[in-house]
Amino acid sequence: MTLTAVEKQALYIAMVRSRAFEEAAGALAASGDIPASWLSGIGQEGTLGAIVQLRADDYLTITHRGAYGFIGRGSDPRRLLAELLGKKAGYCKGKGGRHIADLEHGILGKSGTVGGHAPLAIGVGTAIQNWGGDQVVLSLFGEGTSNRGTTHASMNTAAVWQLPVVWVCENNGYVGNVPASVYTATPDIADMAASYGMPGEVVDGNDALAVHDAARRAIVRARSGSGPSLLELKTYRIRPFAESATDVRDPAEAVAWRDRDPVAGLRDRLLESGELTLADAEAVTAAAREEMAAAAAYARESPFPDPAAAFEDLYA
């Protein structure tokens, strides 16, 4: 199934908005407005190829990195940035910071432990199955996170119960400054799928259309009740592990991967095929930057919560 021009444009817009959001967040981290740090997803926006095709009633579990999950699902950048700045108007009233939930858009919160989301994903799959619904849950994780026991136990359970989960490993080759060869024994995380008798596929994660295509198959499979799949997106994190961290990776790597920038890559292909004009491309970027600048201003001007709010929200 090929995408229509409109669908491709929508995907491109999501990627550009995500990139612009990341840049705004990075700037707010650099200026000290974000009291903690920011873990940039720049370079990994190809994952949006999978995310944008979720239905409004589908679910997504995110990782610690980037904001494309939120942007792709339709979350409000103003409330996202307000949360990162610890403001009352944030999605979690300032209590969560990077730990953001947007239940309205099917994003159930962020675990502080990486790999904490996988067991939650099978719970969402359980609910869908019990209701007899045809939603899916897309569950992201890093290749380092594949090491954790939660990943294994959750994939196994999803396979045994034939849950509508699409597992998406974003393999950016590093845990912090440590290269993958130091913590995974095989080059492909997709190999894990064999343990659970489910399809496993390696995809060029920087080719958003390739990601879209592979994810479509996995989503169709999950939606039709045929069970989980595992996609591994090979990609690269352009920024340091966190904005506050020092990068000791070989800079030549980043240079090479910049040439394969997923956002620019899709733009060039759409320009070439005529599905996007240069003027449109520029307008999209300008609009996204403006939107995110406004969101940043909103977040900065927004008030901090009252200290008394610290004593609310523990119990429902």
Partner 1 sequence: MMRSITTAQAMNEALAEEMRRDPAVYVVGLGLYPSAGESATSGLVDEFGELRVRSAPMSETAIAGSAVGAALVGMRPVAELHLADFAFNALDEILSKSGKWRYTHGGNDGMKLPIVFLEGIGGYVAGASEHSQSPLALYWHFPGLKIAVPATPYDAKGLLKTAVRDDNPVMFFTHKLGAPGPVPDDEYVVPFGEAVVRRPGADVTVVATSYMVVLSMEAAANLADQGVDVEVIDPRTLEPLDIETIVASVVKTGRLVVVDEDTERCGVGAEIGAQVMERAFTALRAPVGRVANPNLPVPYSPPLEQAVLPSITSIETAILATLTN
Ligand X SMILES: Cc1ncc(C[n+]2csc(CCOP(=O)(O)OP(=O)(O)O)c2C)c(N)n1
Q: How far is the CB of 164 from a second copy (least distance, A)?
A: 15
Integer-rounded Cα Rg, in Å, for the chain is 19
φ/ψ (deg, to 5) at 36: -105, -135
Judged by CB under 8 A, the residue of 153, 210, 264, 287 near a second copy is: 153
- Site stretch for Mg ion (CB under 5 A), options 18-26, 171-179, 204-212, 242-250: 171-179
4 DSSP assignment: P
Q: Do the beta carbons of residue 6 and residue 257 sit within 8 Å?
A: no
- Interaction partner, residue 52 (ligand X, partner 1, a second copy, none; CB < 5-8 Å by kind): none
Helical segments of the chain, H only: 5-30, 48-51, 68-73, 77-84, 117-131, 149-161, 208-223, 251-258, 262-273, 278-301
By beta-carbon proximity to a second copy, the closer residue of 141 and 257 is: 141
- Interaction partner, residue 72 (a second copy, partner 1, Mg ion, none; CB < 5-8 Å by kind): none
CA distance 227 to 198: 8
Site for partner 1 in 12-71 (CB under 8 A): 35-36, 59
- Interaction partner, residue 172 (partner 1, a second copy, Mg ion, none; CB < 5-8 Å by kind): Mg ion
CA distance 168 to 265: 21
Site for partner 1 in 289-308 (CB under 8 A): 304-308
Q: How far is the CB of 93 from partner 1 (least distance, A)?
A: 4
3-state secondary structure of 303: coil
Neighbours of 113 (CB within 10 A): 10
CA distance 67 to 48: 10
Q: What track of x and - describes contact with ligand X for positions 33 through 72 (by CB under 6 A)?
A: -------------------------------xx-------
Q: How far is the CB of 254 from partner 1 (least distance, A)?
A: 15
# binding residues, a second copy (CB under 8 A): 23
Q: Whole-angstrom distance between the N-terminal and C-terminal Cα of the chain?
A: 45
Judged by CB under 8 A, the residue of 4, 31, 113, 195 near a second copy is: 195
CA distance 201 to 173: 17
Residues that bind a second copy (CB under 8 A): 147-153, 156-157, 159-160, 182-186, 191-192, 194-198
Residues that bind ligand X (CB under 6 A): 64-65, 112-115, 142-145, 172, 174-176, 237
